């Protein structure tokens, strides 16, 4: 049984590599600066569409963390973001007009590019509205973390998605280009997350937060997954299966301790709920390019019309990673 | 130049160079061993970069892999060279390329000059210390380890199993008692040369070549044969985590390191510019006290404990203990009351007043979560929606207790509620459960419904409660459980309540000047009799007196009870 299961997963992994190769024909290179990547560089991989307004802060945030290069797939943007990215000295850019959904929500494109350019590097897969926070991220760079992970023989690092939202209507304060979105969306739910384990892939399934609380009370099992493993010492044999929630080989998903201890982990601050969101939700609903036929976006469109305010009196205001550590949303593990 | 340094280098050569210059500037001769795994051209560049320094030499290179003999061979070769070529050296200090002096080298020289016959080397017998890596302690010395732990793990493990199975134990060389300790030492010329020039050295070397992690035991063992004065501690501050891998120091440890008063620290992250700039370039303000690494010790042992034991009652993305490995299912004690709100009209506000704790209603009620004051959300943004709660009821409970650390939670429970957490409550040592069995019948008694409906519901509730009681009374139950039947409780309610409050351990409680108001039970006995007459046997209430007379006078007095 165990051997058979492993073999099946191995086949699945091979299939996703073939699929990534096939889907790579949809990509057209805009600016390839991958020759500037040096052996120990840390690379951000991202796929996006019409996120121009978020890009300057996104790039700045990750440059400050110590990321050396960005590899980005632009899915048919028409807001000038593509041109902006092409002008950045540390960005390699591909573009495509193909279907996001049929590339398994961008996973195939990134799997291809990671296999090609990420081998042997620490790679971080994030969306432009996700901001990676790890233990000591205010005093140590991301290479301190990756050096430590490497010395500890850890290949993958988990960072749960933490939905951030403003106090008041989400469209009350307009977001300005280049601004830190966490200045507006600075609140989060501290302790209403539930976990369960996937016994085939070994990954956790985390649900909860404001989206579950506001939009999925009737069908809680449909609430979006918040577990992510974005930081991986990439090897060309690896593949993401479903967004960054699951990896193959499945050992990479064992980012949690089962014997009582805590492994080190971080958080992805998810600044999705800004004034730009209402527009985005409508657009995505029309395009129907999102997970489960955009069921999520349908729920948001309905939910937000009724309660445009995600804030409640028990919401916490974000201060720093130490606060998240104390609240038990992330852990230092044995890194000190 | 009474102090000489033996330095083992394998990575971050530019940092090693900085440190070597620092030692050398204070007049210490340095003999450097560079790992054979460093390629030729890098090595040549490194040698070139240090060519301008006098009294800096390079020793014969060995291949050094963690846990193998290479490290000892390297230390031996470099030490021999140091003693041979620098006759004025009195103390030899073994350091690595990622070690950094925290105090002025002159401080260390003075310190050693004041203790000219002392050998600083951590050295403890295997029986007395729990330093085990990979499940091996004294077997380090009695088995053979020809395979690499890191690269040939499979062979390593199999060969260990094989030797255990067939009891292939080695004999220790005559006269030595195995000792272990930190591999970073500072020995006097007398002791070190005695070890290196011992006529039996080939025997010892042959033996230690197959010992596991000989760099932590070779000098530590042999020093016991020759030293006149062993001070069993390392002058190098070096902390290890639970995998036996050294903790690394970063820029944000600057103040800690400063206050530690240690002479040398290991291991420094090569990119910790602030640390290198502070300790190597500027004059250091620390003054001549004994090393005092207490605070650093605490921080690192806390880190190890977090990694191995974790925070009790926390379930999160990187901690999902299996059943039985939680080290505490919940993070703090809490109290559960079953049947109290049914029996007393104002139980919740009364309990909150008397105990000054957070008192919720039926958290697991089918219609919705009854948080205190019936709020829609509660600590940690928990939501009062029953489906969301039942989606993962266990974690609803652990989240609630975790989110309210520092404040005791009380809530009501009963057979009308969702029973998903029944067993979890019973098994949790933090739960204090107080049950009045059969109290669920009181609302039925007071309700205005058809008797056939009442009878059916009573049967169902009784079934649910008796299942729950089975959990509470089972072999696995670890909660502090106290069970009364309704009849017992009604007989002396204040006494029972007092027991409950005492058990909650509320020390600063003011004396209870008021009792909660009990519902009027006139006719309840008859109600139970009616149920019996209909063929449903209500047994959980106990033997309720058929004659309501003894209750009557009490009911009418309405006089507050005084309990101390």
Q: For the CA atoms of chain B, what is the radius of gyration?
A: 36
Cβ neighbourhood burial of B236 (10 Å; 0-12, 13-18, 19+): buried
Task: Note the pLDDT of residue A36.
Answer: 92
Kindly tell me if the per-residue pLDDT of B551 is higher than 50: no
Task: Note the pLDDT of residue B292.
Answer: 79
Task: Note the pLDDT of residue A105.
Answer: 87
Distance (Å, rounded) from C-alpha B16 to C-alpha B8?
Answer: 9
Q: How many domains does chain A have?
A: 1
Q: Give the CATH number, domain containing residue A49.
A: 3.90.550
Distance from CA of B318 to the nearest CA of A (A): 4
Distance (Å, rounded) from C-alpha B191 to C-alpha B118?
Answer: 9
Tell me which residue of B527, B525, B522, B521 sits closest to B454, measured CA to CA. B527
Distance (Å, rounded) from C-alpha B318 to C-alpha A331?
Answer: 7
What six digits make up the tokens of B543?
Answer: 């033997």
CATH hierarchy code of domain B3-116+235-308: 3.90.550
B237-288, pLDDT tens digit by residue? 888 877 778 889 999 999 888 888 888 998 899 999 999 988 887 665 556 5
The more confidently predicted of residues B428 and A297 is: B428
Distance (Å, rounded) from C-alpha B364 to C-alpha B418?
Answer: 5
Distance from CA of A208 to the nearest CA of B (A): 9
What six digits make up the tokens of B344?
Answer: 């007393």
- In angstroms, how far is CA B445 from the centroid of its own chain? 52
DSSP-based helix, strand, coil % in chain B, nearest 5: 40, 15, 45
Distance (Å, rounded) from C-alpha B522 to C-alpha B513?
Answer: 26
Cβ within 8 Å, pair A265-B242: no
| Mean pLDDT for the stretch of residues A113-122 | 94
B24-60, pLDDT tens digit by residue? 988 899 999 999 999 999 999 999 999 998 889 999 9
Long-range contacts of A246-249 (CB under 8 A, 24+ apart): A246/A198, A246/A201, A246/A203, A247/A156, A247/A203, A248/A9, A248/A12, A248/A13, A248/A16, A248/A201, A249/A9, A249/A10, A249/A13
| Mean pLDDT for the stretch of residues A91-110 | 90
Kindly tell me if the per-residue pLDDT of A140 is higher than 60: yes
Using a CB–CB cutoff of 8 Å, tell me whether A194 touches chain B.
yes
Distance (Å, rounded) from C-alpha B179 to C-alpha B185?
Answer: 14
Using a CB–CB cutoff of 8 Å, tell me whether A325 touches chain B.
no
Helix (H) or strand (E) holding B75: helix B70-85
Q: Tell me the CATH class for B334-557.
A: alpha beta
Q: Does residue A297 contact residue A240 with C-beta atoms inside 8 Å?
A: no
Cβ within 8 Å, pair A151-B391: no
| Mean pLDDT for the stretch of residues A104-112 | 91
Using a CB–CB cutoff of 8 Å, tell me whether A5 touches chain B.
no
- In angstroms, how far is CA A62 from the centroid of its own chain? 13
Cβ within 8 Å, pair B388-A260: no
A169-203, pLDDT tens digit by residue? 888 889 999 999 999 999 999 999 999 999 999 99
Tell me which residue of A268, A85, A276 sits closest to A179, measured CA to CA. A276
Distance (Å, rounded) from C-alpha B46 to C-alpha B59?
Answer: 13
Range of the domain at A107: 2-327
pLDDT band at B17 (very low <50, low <70, confident <90, very high): very high
Identify each DSSP E strand in B177-258 by its residue range: 179-180, 186-188, 230-231, 236-238
Distance (Å, rounded) from C-alpha B519 to C-alpha A48?
Answer: 64
Q: What is the percent of chain B where pLDDT is above 90? A: 45
Distance (Å, rounded) from C-alpha B454 to C-alpha B446?
Answer: 11
Identify each DSSP E strand in B233-386 by its residue range: 236-238, 264-266, 334-338, 358-362, 377-378, 382-383
Q: What CA dihedral angle connects A166, A167, A173 and A178, to 10 degrees?
A: -30
β-partners of residue B5 are B30, B93
- In angstroms, how far is CA B325 from the centroid of its own chain? 13
Q: Does residue B226 contact residue B191 with C-beta atoms inside 8 Å?
A: yes
Q: Is residue A334 part of a domain?
A: no
Using a CB–CB cutoff of 8 Å, tell me whether B402 touches chain A.
yes
Using a CB–CB cutoff of 8 Å, tell me whether B545 touches chain A.
no
Distance from CA of B390 to the nearest CA of A (A): 9
Using a CB–CB cutoff of 8 Å, tell me whether B533 touches chain A.
no
Identify each DSSP E strand in B243-327 by its residue range: 264-266
β-partners of residue B266 are B238
- For A262, which DSSP code? -
Task: Note the pLDDT of residue A285.
Answer: 76
What six digits make up the tokens of A58?
Answer: 């996104």
Kindly tell me if the per-residue pLDDT of B169 is higher than 90: no
Find all residues with CB under 8 Å of A16, minimum gap 6, and list them: A107, A108, A111, A239, A241, A248
pLDDT band at B537 (very low <50, low <70, confident <90, very high): confident
Using a CB–CB cutoff of 8 Å, tell me whether A307 touches chain B.
no
Q: Is residue A315 part of a domain?
A: yes
List chain A residues with CB under 8 Å of B392. 194-196
Nearest CA in chain A to B316: A329
Tell me which residue of B442, B457, B403, B419 sits closest to B336, measured CA to CA. B419
Angle at B209 between CA B205 and CA B211, to 5 degrees: 115
Distance (Å, rounded) from C-alpha A320 to C-alpha A326?
Answer: 10
Instruction: Closest CB to B303: pick one of A143, A189, A332.
Output: A332
Q: How many CB atoms lie within 10 A of CB B45?
A: 10
Q: Is residue A14 part of a domain?
A: yes
Kindly tell me if the per-residue pLDDT of A84 is higher than 50: yes
Cβ within 8 Å, pair A190-B381: yes
| Mean pLDDT for the stretch of residues A312-319 | 93
- For B280, which DSSP code? I
Distance from CA of B522 to the nearest CA of A (A): 43
Cβ within 8 Å, pair A262-B379: no
Give residue limits of the domains in chain B: 3-116+235-308, 334-557
Q: Is residue A332 part of a domain?
A: no
Interface pTM, i.e. ipTM: 0.92
Task: Compute the count of residue pairs across chains A and B with CB atoms less than 8 Å apart.
Answer: 174
Q: Does residue B233 contact residue B186 with C-beta atoms inside 8 Å?
A: no
Cβ within 8 Å, pair A262-B310: yes
Distance (Å, rounded) from C-alpha B311 to C-alpha A331?
Answer: 10
Put simply, the chain A residues between 122 and 141 with a CB less than 8 A from any chain B CB are 136, 139-141
Task: Note the pLDDT of residue B553.
Answer: 46
pTM score of the predicted model? 0.89
Identify the top-confidence range among A300-309, B145-154, B194-203, B280-289: B194-203
Task: Note the pLDDT of residue B552.
Answer: 46
Kindly tell me if the per-residue pLDDT of B190 is higher than 70: yes
Helix (H) or strand (E) holding A317: strand A316-317
List chain A residues with CB under 8 Å of B271. 141, 143-144
Distance (Å, rounded) from C-alpha A189 to C-alpha A88?
Answer: 35
Using a CB–CB cutoff of 8 Å, tell me whether B301 touches chain A.
no
Tell me which residue of A223, A205, A268, A239 sits closest to A11, measured CA to CA. A239
Using a CB–CB cutoff of 8 Å, tell me whether B448 touches chain A.
no
Using a CB–CB cutoff of 8 Å, tell me whether A320 touches chain B.
no
Instruction: Closest CB to B241: pick one of A143, A314, A334.
Output: A334
B337-374, pLDDT tens digit by residue? 999 999 998 899 999 888 888 999 999 999 999 999 89
β-partners of residue B125 are B179
């Amino acid at each position: 049984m165990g051997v058979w299961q492993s073999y099946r997963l191995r086949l699945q992994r091979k299939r996703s590599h073939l699929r990534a190769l096939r889907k790579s024909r949809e990509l057209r290179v805009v600016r390839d600066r991958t020759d500037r990547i040096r052996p120990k560089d840390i690379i951000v991989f991202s796929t996006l569409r019409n996120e121009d307004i978020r890009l300057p802060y996104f790039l700045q945030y990750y440059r400050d963390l110590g990321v050396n290069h960005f590899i980005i797939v632009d899915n048919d943007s028409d807001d000038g973001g593509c041109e902006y990215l092409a002008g950045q000295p540390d960005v390699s850019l591909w573009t495509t007009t193909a279907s996001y959904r049929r590339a398994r929500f961008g996973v195939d494109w990134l799997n291809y590019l990671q296999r090609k350019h990420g081998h042997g590097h620490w790679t971080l897969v994030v969306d432009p509205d996700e901001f990676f926070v790890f233990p000591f991220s205010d005093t140590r760079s991301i290479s301190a973390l990756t050096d430590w992970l490497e010395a500890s023989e850890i290949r993958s690092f988990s960072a749960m998605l933490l939905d951030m939202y403003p106090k008041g209507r989400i469209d009350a304060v307009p977001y300005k280009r280049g601004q830190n979105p966490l200045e507006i969306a600075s609140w989060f739910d501290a302790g209403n997350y539930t976990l369960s384990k996937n016994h085939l892939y070994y990954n956790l399934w985390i649900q909860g937060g404001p989206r579950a609380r506001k939009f999925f009370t009737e069908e809680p099992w449909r609430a979006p997954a918040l577990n992510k493993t974005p930081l991986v010492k990439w090897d060309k044999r690896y593949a993401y299966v479903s967004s960054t929630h699951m990896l193959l080989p499945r050992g990479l998903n064992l980012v949690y301790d089962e014997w009582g201890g805590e492994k080190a982990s971080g958080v992805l601050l998810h600044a999705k709920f800004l004034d730009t969101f209402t527009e985005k939700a409508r657009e995505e609903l029309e395009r129907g390019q999102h997970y489960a036929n955009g069921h999520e976006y349908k729920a948001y469109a309905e939910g937000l019309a009724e309660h445009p305010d995600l804030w409640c009196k028990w919401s916490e205001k974000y201060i720093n990673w130490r606060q998240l550590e104390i609240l038990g949303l992330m852990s230092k593990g044995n890194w000190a | 130049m009474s102090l000489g340094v033996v330095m083992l280098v394998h990575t971050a050569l530019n940092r090693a160079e900085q440190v070597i210059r620092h030692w050398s500037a204070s007049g210490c001769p340095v003999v450097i061993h560079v790992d054979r795994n460093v390629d030729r051209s890098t090595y040549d560049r490194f040698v070139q970069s240090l060519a301008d320094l006098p009294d800096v030499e390079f020793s014969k290179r060995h291949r050094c892999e963690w846990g193998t003999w290479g490290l000892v061979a390297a230390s031996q070769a470099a030490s021999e060279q140091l003693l041979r070529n620098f006759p004025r050296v009195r103390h030899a200090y073994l350091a690595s390329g990622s070690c950094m002096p925290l105090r002025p080298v002159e401080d260390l020289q003075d310190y050693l000059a004041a203790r000219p016959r002392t050998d600083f080397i951590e050295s403890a017998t295997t029986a007395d210390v729990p330093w085990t890596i990979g499940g091996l302690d004294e077997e380090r010395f009695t088995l053979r380890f020809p395979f690499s732990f890191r690269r040939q793990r499979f062979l390593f493990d199999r060969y260990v199993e094989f030797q255990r199975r067939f009891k292939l134990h080695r004999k220790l060389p005559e006269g030595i008692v195995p000792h272990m300790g930190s591999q970073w030492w500072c020995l006097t010329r007398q002791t070190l040369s005695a070890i290196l020039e011992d006529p039996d050295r080939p025997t010892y070397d042959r033996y230690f070549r197959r010992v596991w992690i000989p760099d932590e035991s070779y000098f530590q063992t042999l020093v016991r044969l020759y030293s006149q004065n062993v001070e069993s501690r390392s002058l190098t501050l070096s902390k290890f985590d639970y995998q036996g891998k050294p903790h690394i120091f970063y820029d944000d440890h600057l103040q800690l390191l400063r206050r530690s008063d240690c002479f040398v620290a290991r291991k420094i992250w090569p990119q910790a510019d602030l640390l290198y700039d502070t300790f190597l370039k500027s004059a250091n303000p620390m003054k001549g006290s004994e090393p005092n690494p207490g605070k650093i010790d605490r921080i690192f042992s806390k880190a190890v404990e977090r990694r191995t034991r974790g925070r009790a009652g926390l379930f999160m993305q990187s901690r999902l203990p299996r059943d039985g490995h939680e080290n505490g299912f919940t993070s703090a004690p809490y109290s559960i009351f079953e049947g109290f709100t049914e029996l007393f009209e104002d139980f919740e506000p009364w309990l909150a007043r008397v105990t000054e704790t957070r008192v919720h209603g039926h958290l697991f009620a089918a219609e919705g979560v009854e948080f205190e004051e019936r709020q829609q959300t509660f600590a940690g943004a928990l939501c009062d929606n029953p489906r969301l709660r039942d989606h993962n009821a266990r974690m609803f409970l652990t989240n609630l207790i975790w989110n309210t650390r520092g404040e005791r939670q009380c809530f009501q429970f009963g057979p009308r509620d969702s029973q998903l957490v029944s067993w979890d409550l019973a098994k949790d040592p933090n739960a204090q459960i107080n049950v009045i069995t059969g109290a669920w019948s009181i609302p039925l008694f007071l309700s205005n419904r058809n008797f056939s409906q009442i009878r059916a519901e009573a049967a169902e509730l009784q079934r649910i409660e008796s299942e729950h009681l089975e959990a509470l009374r089972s072999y696995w139950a670890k909660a502090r459980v106290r069970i009364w039947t309704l009849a017992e409780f009604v007989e002396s309610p204040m006494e029972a309540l007092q027991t409950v409050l005492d058990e909650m351990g509320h020390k600063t409680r003011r004396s209870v000047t008021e009792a909660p108001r009990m519902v009027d039970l006139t006719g309840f006995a008859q109600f139970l009799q009616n149920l019996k007459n209909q063929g449903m046997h209500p047994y959980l209430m106990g033997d309720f007196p058929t004659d309501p007379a003894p209750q009557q006078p009490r009911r009418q007095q309405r006089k507050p009870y005084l309990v101390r």
